[in-house]
Structure 1
Amino acid sequence: MDPLLGVKIGCLAGLLVVPLLCGLIPAQVQWFQINMARGKHRRILSIIGCFAAGVFLGACIMHMVADALGDIKSEIEKYQQQGALVPKQNTTSASDDSEDYPFGELIISFGFFLVFFIESVVLSCCPRAVHSHGDAEAHDDHKGTPESHSSFRAFVLFLSLSFHSVFEGLAIGVQKEDTGAIQLCLAVLIHKAIVAFSLALKLVQSGTKARWRVLYLVVFALMSPVGIAIGIGVSLTNGDGSGLAQAVLEGVAAGTFLYVTFLEILPYELRSHESPLAKFAFIGFGFFIMAVIAIWA
């Protein structure tokens, strides 16, 4: 077996097992169930939740949005160099206009408004459903919030993270040197393990049923290995592992994650009764972890 192929298969296995284990801990262990928490137990869970919110904020800005903007820009520049996006009779001025226009931001905004629209439709169809996180305090925080509201956002969170994971795996699968593949895999592994834990915690907070939590986490864990497998196939056939369509889809995924991060995750944690400075510190710490990982990932 080719040593590089062996390294990639090892990366595939690691990115399947480790995030799955990290996700199943808060998803299945009763200690993490928010409806059982009281006193100090609840404060600890609130702190962990704030850390998770910081992780999602960092993943959103430092990874998903940054990756999408970079990929969209590079793909547009590639097409411009090929002359596919500009008319031949006025190449210079048209190229300048297209370079100035924020195509990446537009695509990310489309993802944001897509989720906004779908959620508005869901809320219009389920106006009387009331969501509860399981105890009086959480119920008061979410009084009048439709059950489909939080459940839908939890699903969008899972979907956008899973989609992004495919591209992370793809980046590993198309590596041409084993050293580069290992370094990128370690960075993605740390990133995905922390995100899997945070995703599971958010699924618990949203009231997602146990069987659905497990299903979401299994699918999420599979996404990076699927991306690696696709990347291996692309590298074996000497194909191009990137494309404008992939960059656009990644931008849409980033926009959906942006919506959930700022309209569901952060507001939920900021409504808790813990010290504002403590919440700031742990949200900032979670963001810092993702910012550091972005150096290598």
Structure 2
Amino acid sequence: MESLIGVKLGCLFALLALTLVCGLSPICSKWFKIDAATGRHRRVLSLLGCTSAGVFLGAGLMHMTAEALEGIESEIQKFVGQNRTRTKGNSSNDAGSAFVQYPCGELVISLGFFLVFLLESLALQCCQGAAGQSTVQEEEWGGNPAFDFHTHESLRSPKQSPFRAFVLLLSLSFHSVFEGLAVGLQPTIAATVQLCLAVLAHKGLVVFGVALRLIKIGTGARWATSSILSLAFMSPLGLALGMTIAAGDSEGWKGLAQAILEGLAAGTFLYVTFLEILPRELSSSEAPLAKWGCVAAGFTFMAFIAMWA
């Protein structure tokens, strides 16, 4: 038991260290600042951004959505199975079968998508009369232009708001907590190490992509660093929670609530990926095939990692 706890503590520090290194290195390096880049340097940064977009696409579809669907389905089947043992009536069995066949996981993910859509629409509606691109960011961040856009950006509208950057960080934070929770709940050393390696394999690229995203929309260094720091502690927090409840169980409403939150986080992540990240990276007509190749490469890597995650 002590050796298992030691391995989990090692995984905790590994997750924290990797997230900090991959997240803070682009922020601390001037090479990644696209507003100061020209020529080939700028093209390389643009292709790197497309690769990170592919990573986000793969993380959303192959990891977050897949895990949410699997978790919701298993929890619903467990819930229906428990009810069947308590009641033996045919009507309840038929109702339970219909409930299991309904795409509940897809519904929860869609609700997460539309929840962010609604919140952003409300923010834009309330700030409709304000000026330019500073509207949403000043309302949502207390007048502090922590997320500011540069004049060279090709997509400039109130809809390209810092709210989406906040949603991206929030959804990834939820997902990171659940990843750490899964590692902390593993009963053996082998299972803990295997799952931790799978998380580490894609965690670094995702956090690196988040840092690039924050730099590209003009986030101040102080806010970007704070965002990465908060994101870095999410997986260790989840792992610590998993260790504390490893002796308990995840039956009943606790497991179902966790699966639903994961589904909502997946829906919000898909919203940001398809309506913010991919459109901005592919807005320029320069080197379209190269951009497609970079997006496909990022997605392929995440799909490959999904074999173990």
Instruction: Classify 1:198/1:280 alpha carbon distance in 2 versus 1 (closer, same or farther; 3 Å).
Output: same
Match in the other structure for 2:100: 99
| Counterpart-to-counterpart distance in 2, 1:156 and 1:245 | 20
TM score, norm. by length of structure 1? 0.93
CA offsets, 1:151-170, max 9 Å, x none?
A: 11011001101110011111
1:213 partner letter: A
2:208 partner letter: F
Return the offset for 1:93: 2.0
2:202 partner letter: H
Alignment of 1:129 with 2:149, yes or no, is no
| Counterpart-to-counterpart distance in 2, 1:130 and 1:61 | 30
CA offsets, 1:16-35, max 9 Å, x none?
A: 01111111111221111121
Contact 2:56 2:273 in 1 (8 A): yes
| Alignment partner of 1:259 out of 237, 252, 271 | 271
1:165 partner letter: S
Q: CA RMSD in A?
A: 1.9
| Counterpart-to-counterpart distance in 2, 1:31 and 1:260 | 26
2:174 partner letter: F
Contact 2:69 2:105 in 1 (8 A): yes
Alignment of 1:14 with 2:14, yes or no, is yes
Q: Say which is worse superposed, 67-76 or 272-281, in terms of deviation.
A: 272-281
Return the offset for 1:134: 2.3
2:198 partner letter: A
1:13 partner letter: F
Match in the other structure for 1:142: 155
SS in 1 for 2:249: coil
Return the offset for 1:135: 4.3
Q: Say which is worse superposed, 29-38 or 157-166, in terms of deviation.
A: 29-38
Return the offset for 1:186: 1.1
Return the offset for 1:133: 3.7
Match in the other structure for 1:285: 297
Match in the other structure for 1:238: 248
Match in the other structure for 1:222: 233
Return the offset for 1:125: 2.5
Match in the other structure for 2:32: 32
**Identity value in percent:** 53
Match in the other structure for 2:141: none
Q: Say which is worse superposed, 84-93 or 51-60, in terms of deviation.
A: 84-93
Contact 1:35 1:135 in 2 (8 A): no
Match in the other structure for 2:41: 41
Q: Say which is worse superposed, 64-73 or 122-131, in terms of deviation.
A: 122-131
SS in 1 for 2:96: helix
SS in 2 for 1:114: helix
SS in 2 for 1:295: coil
Contact 1:123 1:149 in 2 (8 A): no
Contact 2:183 2:196 in 1 (8 A): yes
Match in the other structure for 2:207: 196
CA offsets, 1:70-111, max 9 Å, x none?
A: 000000000000117999450232122112211101111110
2:271 partner letter: Y
Match in the other structure for 2:283: 271
SS in 2 for 1:243: helix
| Counterpart-to-counterpart distance in 1, 2:237 and 2:56 | 22
Match in the other structure for 1:166: 177
Instruction: Classify 1:90/1:279 alpha carbon distance in 2 versus 1 (closer, same or farther; 3 Å).
Output: same
TM score, norm. by length of structure 2? 0.90
Q: Say which is worse superposed, 121-130 or 188-197, in terms of deviation.
A: 121-130
| Counterpart-to-counterpart distance in 1, 2:70 and 2:116 | 22
CA offsets, 1:255-277, max 9 Å, x none?
A: 00010000001001111243111
1:191 partner letter: H
Size of the aligned set, in residue pairs, is: 291
Contact 2:160 2:276 in 1 (8 A): no
1:100 partner letter: Q
Q: Structure 1 stretches of 5 or more lacking a match?
A: none
